[in-house]
Amino acid sequence: MGRQYQYRTVDGRETVQIAVRGRQVLARPMLNFGPGYTLEQRRALGLTGLLPPAVNSMNEQLKRVYQQFSSQPDALSKYVFLNQLQDLNEILFYRLVAEHIDEMLPIIYTPTVGLAIQQFSSTFDRPRGIYLSIEDPAGIDDAFRANGQGADDVDLVVVTDSEGILGIGDQGVGGIRIAVGKLAVYTTAAGIHPLRAMPVVLDVGTDNPRLLNDPAYLGGRYARVRGQRYDDFLALFVAKVKEHFPASLLHWEDFGADNAHRLLETYREEHCSFNDDIQGTAAVVAAAALGAVRTKGKLLSEQRVVVHGAGTAGIGIADLMRDIMVSEGLSREEAERRFWGLGSRGLLRTGHPMRNFQERYARPAGEVDHWVTAAGRYDLADVVRNVRPTILIGTSAQAGAFTEEIVRLMTDSCERPVIMPLSNPTSKAEALPEDLLSWTDGQALIATGSPFAPVVHDGVTYEIAQANNALVFPGIGLGTVAARASAVSDRMITAAAQAVAEMTTARRPGSAVLPSMRQLRAVSAAVAVRVAQAAQEDGIARRTLTNPIQDIHDLMWVPNYPTVEVVDRTDVQSARHTGAAHTEDSDDPAQPE
């Protein structure tokens, strides 16, 4: 079968070769430029009479769709509008989001995507991405082939099994929307071409009773599969990704705590792998911590850190911060002693149940025997009272866990406490910024997981840093792809955190400890350069960047309408062998997001 269309970039100029005609052009989101097509292009493509007479520039189209976006009554309606725009005109969608990134990122990504995931089955319209079922493992090959992307056509695969979606838990097959949203951020922030990325959901069942009893639920209606059968399915999936897309980065997203660390460690050397919940969260929180302590003229290795919610994300944060402390001169053991982690049973301490990956941060039993506690619970208030931390991190999904009493206890012994209520969505946040500033008399250095508006306290406007993984994961992905790294090393994650911290200028009162989301594309480029260089230093880069800054810049796709070349299918087929970059084989007009 001949190709339907193909994107090519030669000498910095993007061209799309189009072999389909008429409504088949308008049915494909990466070809539908709407009234952006000139009259000559319309005649050549069989679009005469299928579009209104006026020819609109990109800017004219942007004004219209932004007005439509702004007229939507609430965040979920705005999500639906943007989703429909992406289904209609994908380039216009990305350009709109890029020009209003601080306003639209919370819509296409966290927190609004959480609402969209919960309503996936009831609002399902057009299929996006790849759905793989544990009931049909043999179908993985068919699914990958049906998607129409060859071995050299995919840079990035984002996969979830939906067990640990944001702060809302098991969402079954609806988790595809977190993979879709993640890739939208990769494209907007780091310029990963939308045709070189693939979202995947692994349907292994669900333990969510609401979904199992919902007649509209679109996933497999059985309890979540675990154990050897699950492991065999994951092993097969990774093997097939490696077979079909050998140069791709495999991004693991929102797996449950019991699986996330285990899967990353199992497969990170087998196929280039990255877990955003572990490594991405760690990098952006470490960047916030570095930015905050530098504001105080201190080192990270001088801090006492309490992590409330020492699960997948919390331990990942501790691990990266520990590594940075080691780079500042501490031994590994000394650095680990700077952390106090709390799980579901309170303080992690020897002799008490915990997961394997938490054990390195367990406090010796004898250390806490003399503590003054409330009924021996060793809960958060007990830990803060006895440890007097300088950094307090929340990844617990326990709304309001950072109470006034706890924050004031911390402030009594720390002039400028670093407090990070990171849990998403906003309803799960451990504290609100305005309360933290009130309880600390404006002294707290704050980073949150969800976006918050600036807070005015005693006449000073405080910009609230959002420790959003979007500040790091797009650049990590771009740098990994640019270097064709065979793995994502710890050095690459540390480099990402340091790159973001170095773009922080929290000097004046009220300034944020992280860069603004409005700088997202510049931040992603800076992160990518440092990540690619770290891959080179680790000896895992399969492609050397001779001029990293320029090379990264040239790789970043810009959402502009390309030059149009009208061809027949045999011309597109043959062109693939002369530098083709992005192609589609299938006769199905639906495209992956």
Can you give the CATH number for the domain in which 242 is found?
Answer: 3.40.50.10380
Q: What is the pLDDT of residues 359-379, one digit of tens each?
A: 999 999 889 888 878 767 789
Which residue in this structure is represented by tokens 């087929």? Answer: 573
What is the overall mean pLDDT for the chain? 93
For 9, list phi and psi in degrees, rounded to 5.
-125, 120
Angle 582-587-593 from CA coordinates, rounded to 5°:
50
- Same-domain pairing of 399 and 440: yes
Rounded to two decimals, the pTM is 0.91
| Structural domain count of the chain | 2
Biggest CA-to-CA distance, the chain: 84
- Same-domain pairing of 215 and 322: no
Is the separation of the CB atoms in 194 and 583 below 8 Å? no
pLDDT for the residue numbered 584: 53
Terminal Cα distance for the chain, rounded: 23
Beta strand extents in 269-424 (DSSP E only): 273-275, 305-308, 339-343, 346-347, 391-394, 418-421
Helix H or strand E segment including 460: strand 460-462
- Tokens matching residue 257: 């705590």
Over 80: is that where the pLDDT of 76 sits? yes
Amino acid at 168: I
DSSP 14-43: EEEEE---THHHHTSTTT--GGGS-HHHHH
Q: Give the range of the structural domain holding residue 216, as residue numbers without chain letter.
A: 142-271
Does residue 130 form part of some domain? no
R_g of the chain, CA atoms, integer Å:
24
Does residue 114 form part of some domain? no
Over 90: is that where the pLDDT of 272 sits? yes
- Same-domain pairing of 263 and 371: no
Is the separation of the CB atoms in 197 and 152 below 8 Å? no
Is the separation of the CB atoms in 207 and 170 below 8 Å? yes
CA 271 to chain centre: 19
Helix H or strand E segment including 131: strand 130-133
- Same-domain pairing of 286 and 246: no
With cut-offs at 50, 70 and 90, classify the pLDDT of residue 521: very high
- Same-domain pairing of 267 and 367: no
Q: Strand 582-584 to strand 5-10: parallel, antiparallel, or no bridges (unpaired)?
A: antiparallel
Whole-angstrom distance, CA of residue 301 vs CA of residue 433: 26
Whole-angstrom distance, CA of residue 551 vs CA of residue 110: 30
Whole-angstrom distance, CA of residue 520 vs CA of residue 466: 12
Does residue 398 form part of some domain? yes
Whole-angstrom distance, CA of residue 124 vs CA of residue 568: 34
- Same-domain pairing of 151 and 264: yes
Whole-angstrom distance, CA of residue 301 vs CA of residue 379: 25
- Same-domain pairing of 296 and 415: yes
Amino acid at 137: P
Whole-angstrom distance, CA of residue 364 vs CA of residue 351: 9
Q: Is 58 helix (H, G, I), strand (E, B) or coil?
A: helix
Which of 469, 488, 504 delimits the end of a domain?
Answer: 469
- Tokens matching residue 459: 């006449």
Compute the CA torsion angle 494, 184, 69, 120 (nearest 10 deg): -110
pLDDT for the residue numbered 68: 98
Is the separation of the CB atoms in 147 and 584 below 8 Å? no
The residues annotated with a catalytic role in the active site are 109, 182
Whole-angstrom distance, CA of residue 542 vs CA of residue 15: 27
Q: What is the pLDDT of residues 12-34, one digit of tens each?
A: 899 999 999 999 999 999 999 99
Give the sign of the dihedral formed by CA 164, CA 168, CA 171, CA 174: negative
CATH number, domain with residue 421: 3.40.50.720
Q: What is the pLDDT of residues 136-172, one digit of tens each?
A: 999 999 999 999 899 999 999 999 999 999 778 999 9
Q: What is the pLDDT of residues 281-325, one digit of tens each?
A: 999 999 999 999 998 899 999 999 999 999 988 999 999 999 999
- Tokens matching residue 191: 């310029």
Length of the chain: 593
Whole-angstrom distance, CA of residue 534 vs CA of residue 468: 22
Beta strand extents in 161-254 (DSSP E only): 197-203, 249-252
Share of the chain above pLDDT 90, in %: 83
Which of 469, 501, 534 delimits the end of a domain?
Answer: 469
Whole-angstrom distance, CA of residue 314 vs CA of residue 285: 10
- Tokens matching residue 348: 């992690």
Whole-angstrom distance, CA of residue 27 vs CA of residue 47: 12
Whole-angstrom distance, CA of residue 171 vs CA of residue 312: 18
- Tokens matching residue 105: 């990122």
Question: Residue 536, exposed/middle/buried by CB under 10 A (0-12, 13-18, 19+)?
Answer: middle
Angle 410-381-365 from CA coordinates, rounded to 5°:
110
Centre a 10 Å sphere on the Cβ of residue 492 and count the other Cβ atoms it contains.
Answer: 28
With cut-offs at 50, 70 and 90, classify the pLDDT of residue 573: low
- Same-domain pairing of 314 and 454: yes
Over 70: is that where the pLDDT of 587 sits? no
Is the separation of the CB atoms in 306 and 392 below 8 Å? yes
Does residue 337 form part of some domain? yes
- Same-domain pairing of 430 and 287: yes
- Same-domain pairing of 321 and 445: yes
Taking each helix axis from N to C end, the angle separating 90-99 and 176-190, rounded to the nearest 10 degrees, works out to: 70
Does residue 159 form part of some domain? yes
Does residue 388 form part of some domain? yes
- Tokens matching residue 16: 């799309």
Whole-angstrom distance, CA of residue 13 vs CA of residue 216: 46
Over 50: is that where the pLDDT of 240 sits? yes
Mean per-residue pLDDT for 251-263?
A: 93
Whole-angstrom distance, CA of residue 300 vs CA of residue 233: 41
More confident residue, 452 or 506: 452
- Tokens matching residue 456: 């005015």
Q: Strand 305-308 to strand 249-252: parallel, antiparallel, or no bridges (unpaired)?
A: unpaired
Does residue 497 form part of some domain? no
- Tokens matching residue 450: 């969800």
- Same-domain pairing of 267 and 294: no
- Same-domain pairing of 267 and 284: no
Question: Residue 285, exposed/middle/buried by CB under 10 A (0-12, 13-18, 19+)?
Answer: buried
Does residue 169 form part of some domain? yes
Cα–Cα distances in Å, from 136 out to 3, 132, 170, 388, 442? 29, 7, 21, 53, 56
Which of 271, 292, 317 delimits the end of a domain?
Answer: 271
